[in-house]
Amino acid sequence: MGLSVHCHVLLHLLSNLPVWSCGSFCTTQQKSRWWLKGGLLALFVIFILVPFSLRILPELIQHLVYAHRIRVPFFVDLSRPADLSLNHTINMYLTSEEGISLGVWHTVPESQWKEAQEKDLAWYQDSLSDGSPVFIYLHGNTGTSIMCQQVLSALGYHALVLDYRGFGDSTGEPTEAGLTTDALYLYNWVKARSGNSLVVIWGHSLGTGVATNIAVKLTEQGVLFDGVILEGAFNSARQKMPGNPFAWYYWTFPGFGYFFQEPWAENKAVFPTEENLKKMRSPILFLHSEDDHLVPIHIAQQMYEVAANAQNAERVKLVSFEGSLGYLHNGLYRDPRLPDILKKFVRSL
């Protein structure tokens, strides 16, 4: 009786075994195939796709992430300076090298305001040889200030303001070599049209580095600037730059710099202003605010000493502005003494 029951149970189990065993085996086999495929895919990703991606994708991602910059000022047509109350100013575009178009504003002396109305580019170019001093203004990292053009125009000077490549509506990507090339091109362009007029270079902040770069290049060719003004000049030899001066050009997502190299990482900006000052032989005027929050006043004093030692105290001047006036790094144009300071410097040339 017990044996019969056990046999019956055993036969029942055996009769059901093929169905249960096959289903389990099939499921296991399917899982094995899935794991095999997954393993092969993982190996493909690790040994083929990842190395390929590390080589190719960073460049693609950099292009997509960094290359789309936001242009400032917003909602301003830089081809129309009259919209900013510069009614005796013309906008033009110069080509400093193939593929680089530079936006340049030329403001004539205020005394020519009425005559300048509706005049074309040829008239503006011809006016450069009228005997009035010509200033080439090299702006800082945050762009130009129309106030400086207005100050110079009111004094009876021509003012040409360059937007380096990558700035304003100029094309190209900003680099130290590129900015130097652009400024040098504009200087030569002006000299070819200004006759015997004085040509003075006025650099502000970043523009001081550009100004001294081109001054040295010209000195090596036996050419000297008539005069150089360095406002808020920085010194990379004695002051660590807080970051690449062109980083603003690239729009970046937070944290991407941790995974991908920034486009400017291998294109360091040097601007060896101190070394340049040792080689310069043009009259220099330093302008600096004692409360400059980006470049401490002692940096300007050190550079003044370097330049004065390279030339003499008669050809190199430093004018500082009291910190209580609150001009910081960008506000010297507000000082009522500035016009007289500029006139005195021009008369000394």
How far apart are the C-alpha atoms of 6 and 12, rounded to whole Å? 10
Does the active-site annotation cover 348? no
Does the active-site annotation cover 329? yes
User: Per residue, what are the HEC states of the chain?
Assistant: CHHHHHHHHHHHHHHHHHHHHHHHHHHHHHHHHHHHHHHHHHHHHHHHHHHHHHHHHHHHHHHHHHCCCCCCCCCCCCCCHHHHCCCCEEEEEEEEECCEEEEEEEECCHHHHHHHCCCCHHHHHHHCCCCCCEEEEECECCECCHHHHHHHHHCCCEEEEECCCCCCCCCCCCCHHHHHHHHHHHHHHHHCCCCCCCEEEEEECHHHHHHHHHHHHHHHCCCCCCEEEEECCCCCCCCCCCCCCCHHHCCCCCCHHHHCCCCCCCCCCCCCHHHHHHHCCCCEEEEEECCCCCCCHHHHHHHHHHHHHHCCCCCEEEEEECHHHCCCCCCHHHCCCHHHHHHHHHHCC
**Which token pair is 164?**
């380096």
Radius of gyration for the chain, computed over Cα atoms and rounded to the nearest angstrom: 33
Query: Measured at the alpha carbon of residue 308, what is the angle toward residues 341 and 235, in degrees to the nearest 5?
Result: 85
Catalytic residue among 163, 182, 292, 335: 292
Does the active-site annotation cover 292? yes
According to DSSP, the β-strands at 227-231 and 284-289 are parallel
Closest C-alpha to 189, from 96, 120, 108: 96
Catalytic residue among 132, 194, 205, 282: 205
**Active site members:** 205, 292, 329
